[in-house]
Structure 1
Amino acid sequence: MNTELSVEELLDPLQTVIGVVEKKQTLPILSHVLIQLKEKKLTLTTTDMELEISASSKIKSDSEVTFTIYAKDLIDIVRKLPEKTLIKFKIEEKKIYLNANKNTFELNTFDHLDFPALPKTQNTSVINIKQELLKELIENTSFSMGNQDIRAYLNGLFFELDQNSLTVVATDGHRLSIGEVKQDNNLEERKTVILPRKAVLELTKLLNKSSQSNAEIHLSDNYFSLIDVDTKIISRLIDGNFPNYKQVMPTDFSNTIVINRTDFLSSLQQASIFVDERTKGVKLVFRDDKLSIFSHSERGRAETQLEVTKQEKELEIAFNIHYLISVLEKLTTREINMVIPGGENKSCLISATDDESYQYIIMPMKI
């Protein structure tokens, strides 16, 4: 069986699906990409048995053929060829020969019927959402996800949906990010799922390159999928109970300090030069409507100061400086509210002064 595809036709969908392919696979066929040509449409699919991505594009070829090929080798070949290059595929039972200009490549193949697919989902709830809104929700919360935490439910993004809202939450046990949007979800009952970290990262890539305005989210008991015109991503969900994030929300708002966000961010970035890399801690001292920021390491120390308003209590408290910086980089307003109830074990709540769509909680630390 022979067919032809141009680099231009292959590269974009291949780049979309390649992130799923791991270097080490339990099954050799999982290192392959499934390529399907049908009705002048090219569809590429990859999977690691937990996550599956398919990307499609229109093509000129009339061929109707399905085969698998080693994904990493294919993308390395395609990336090194000019965009208009035509690649001829000669498909045999165990080998595929690629001919591009005067170059020939020989790659292994498997029976495409052995390529695994995730099961069809049942009892699925379908949510329609603007892609730009979903992208913003994920980007403004996912940085707080756990990474290889023994508690699997922390290594993902929590989605909570009801009839009128979508809430996205991430935590690694030391910080917590919450994003909420109001929208009509047409659900009969509340739905919660935990999307694994790898799926979140691939979903973010997909949303960053998509030109579609809306997307469909399909939620079942075990799977999450997002479908737009040319791409589909399906992921198994994390089985576990996400922590009750509402329990760590401060209840005492008497000490809500207003701070200029850009000044605070700039001061922290300067203080970070002398932060101990082991503790990553920075001390904040609130006194007389001023915030003093102290950091020190073996190389030296730094003190920066800025004015604040509505300070009710004098206090000293320490945080991981990178946690503070990451929150201030996500918020975009001129001023932020920083709720610090006081006491060593009290969490700090940061949000924009005029919008509580995004709320960030950071636990204090000892330094």
Structure 2
Amino acid sequence: MNIQLTVGELLEPLQTVIGVVENKPTLPILSHVLIQLKDSELTLTTTDMEIELHASKKVQTQEEVSFTIYAKDLIDIIRKLKEETIIEFIIEESKIYIKTNNNSFELNTFNTQDFPESPKIIDSETVNINRTVLKELIKKTSFSMGNQDIRAYLNGLYFEVNKDNIIVVATDGHRLSIGEIKQNNNLASQKTVILPRKAVSELNKILEKDGDANIDIHLSENYFHLKTDNVTVVSRLIDGNFPNYAQVIPTNYENTAIINRQEFLDNLQQASIFVEERTKGVKLAFKDSQINIFSHSERGQAKARVTVKNFNKETDIAFNINYLISVLEILTTDEINMVLPSENSQSCLLSSIGDERYQYVVMPMKI
């Protein structure tokens, strides 16, 4: 069978699903994209057996066909061609021939019956959420996720859905990000899931694109399922018990300093030039309503000073400087609250003044 598609019809959905394809998959067919044409709609599917992505687009052709082809080879062939370029696919039993302009390519194909079936999702709870709100929740929390931690439950984003709110939490054991939005959810009881890091990354890319104002999320015991106007994400969940995040949030606000966010961020970024590569440690010395910032490495040292409000105690504390910088870059208000450790809590809490939706906990360190 022969079919024709334009680069404009094929490239966008292919770019949407290509991120799931591994360089060295466990099964050869997982390096392929499943291409389906039916009712003038093109649907592309990729999977790594943990995450499955579908992207659809209306096309001109009336043909009905399905076939698999090496995903990364295909995108390398078409990505630099003009949108109006016509791509001809000649589909045989074990080969796909591609003709475009004056070039031709021969690629292997597999039987579509060998492509993994989509998982069956049963007994799921549905949550409707604004696309922009979900994008912000993920962006402002996911940077604190663990990366290849032996504790698998840290390598993902925790969603806690209650009747009147949605809470999203990420932690790597040294820092913690919490985002909360208030909204009514039609749930019989609380629902909690941990979405893997790779799925969070793909979800971020999808939410960055324009689409429906509101999105339905389906949460089952084993799967996270999200469908936008033309993209579907299905991901297995991380099995495990997420840490009790509420336990590390300070409840005593007696040691609260008010700090100009941009001034603090600028000084920390300069101090980061001279931190030890291994520890990334920076010392903060609070005295006389000021923070004295100290950092040093084998190349030299840095000293900086920032004025604070509402706090004139003397205390010295050290942090991973990158953790502080990443929080200050996410916060947006002119001034922030910084709750310092006390007798009842060893953690530090940062948040925007007047905005309780996002809170960030950073654990001190010894240097």
Q: TM > 0.5 between the two? A: yes
For 1:17-32, list aligned pairs within 5 A. Answer: 17-32=17-32
Matched, 1:303 2:307: no
Distance 2:275 2:269 in 1: 10
Match of 2:96 in 1: 96
Q: Determine whether 1:281 maps to 2:284.
A: no
One-letter amino acid of the structure 2 residue matched with residue 262 of structure 1? Q
Q: Could you tell me how far apart the structure 2 residues matched to 1:158 and 1:266 are?
A: 31
| Residue matched to 1:331 | 331
Q: Distance in 2 between matches of 1:34 and 1:51?
A: 14
Which whole-Å CA distance do the structure 2 matches of 1:312 and 1:39 have between them?
70
What's the counterpart of residue 248 of structure 1? 248
Contact 1:344 1:364 in 2 (8 A): no
Q: 1:33 aligns to what?
A: 33
Counterpart in 2 of 1:208? 208
Secondary structure of the structure 2 residue equivalent to 1:338: strand
Measured in 1, the distance between the counterparts of 2:152 and 2:341 equals 31
1:354 aligns with 2:357: no
Pair 1:246–1:312, CA change in 2 (3 A): farther
Deviations 1:193-216 (A, max 9, x none): 000000000000110123321111
User: How many Å separate the matches in 2 of 1:250 and 1:202?
Assistant: 33
Determine the structure 2 residue equivalent to 1:85. Answer: 85
Which has the larger displacement, 341-350 or 324-333? 341-350
The answer to whether the 8 Å contact 2:95/2:107 transfers is yes
CA distance in 2, matches of 1:301, 1:184: 52
Residue 296 of structure 1: CA displacement? 0.5
For 1:294, the equivalent position in structure 2 comes to: 294
TM normalised by structure 2 equals 0.98
- The offset of 1:229, in angstroms, is 1.1
Distance 2:315 2:342 in 1: 7
Asked whether the equivalents of residues 159 and 167 of structure 2 are also in contact (C-alpha less than 8 Å), the reply is yes
The alpha carbon displacement at 1:113 in A equals 1.3
List alignment gaps of at least 5 residues for structure 2.
none
Tell me, yes or no, if the aligned pair for 1:49 and 1:118 is still in contact at 8 Å.
Answer: no
Deviation at 1:120, TM superposition (A): 1.1
Computed over aligned residues only, the root mean square deviation of the Cα atoms, in angstroms, reads 1.1
Q: Does 1:321 align with 2:321?
A: yes
Q: Secondary structure at the match of 2:355?
A: coil
In structure 1, what is the equivalent of residue 165 of structure 2? 165
Question: Which residue number corresponds to residue 75 of structure 1?
Answer: 75
Q: TM-score, normalised by structure 1?
A: 0.98
Amino acid paired to 2:3:
T
Structure 2 residue aligned with 1:129: 129
- Unpaired stretches in structure 1, ≥5 consecutive residues: none
| 1:119 pairs with 2:155 | no
Displacement of 1:313 in angstroms is: 2.5
C-alpha distance in 2, partners of 1:151/1:65?
44
Runs of 4 or more above 4 Å deviation: none
Q: Compute the displacement of 1:341 (Å).
A: 2.6
**In structure 1, what is the Cα distance between the partners aligned to 2:350 and 2:102?**
60
Report the CA distance between 1:134 and its aligned residue: 0.3
Deviation track 1:33-76 (CA, whole Å, cap 9, x = no partner) reads 00000111000000000000000001000111011001010000
Query: Contact 1:255–1:312 at 8 Å: present in 2 too?
Result: no
* Distance in 2, Cα, partners of 1:316 & 1:74: 57
The answer to whether the 8 Å contact 2:11/2:78 transfers is yes
Find the aligned partners of 1:230 and 1:284 in 2 and give their Cα distance: 49
CA distances 1:95-140 after superposition (whole Å, capped 9, x unpaired): 0000101111001100111110232100011111111100000000
Answer yes or no: is the 8 Å Cα contact 2:18–2:71 preserved in 1: yes
Per-residue deviation, residues 264-319 of structure 1 (Å, max 9, x unmatched) = 00110111111111110000011110111100111111111011011052100000
Distance 1:103 1:216 in 2: 43
Please give the alpha-carbon distance, in whole angstroms, between the structure 2 residues aligned to 1:10 and 1:325. Answer: 40
1-structure distance, mates of 2:81, 2:267:
47
| Equivalent pair of 2:211/2:228 in contact (CA under 8 Å) | no
Q: What does residue 56 of structure 2 align with? A: 56
Confirm or deny that 1:234 pairs with 2:234.
yes
Other-structure match for 1:198:
198
Report how many aligned residue pairs link the two structures: 367
Counterpart Cα distance in 2 of 1:102 and 1:356: 60
* 2:14 counterpart residue number: 14
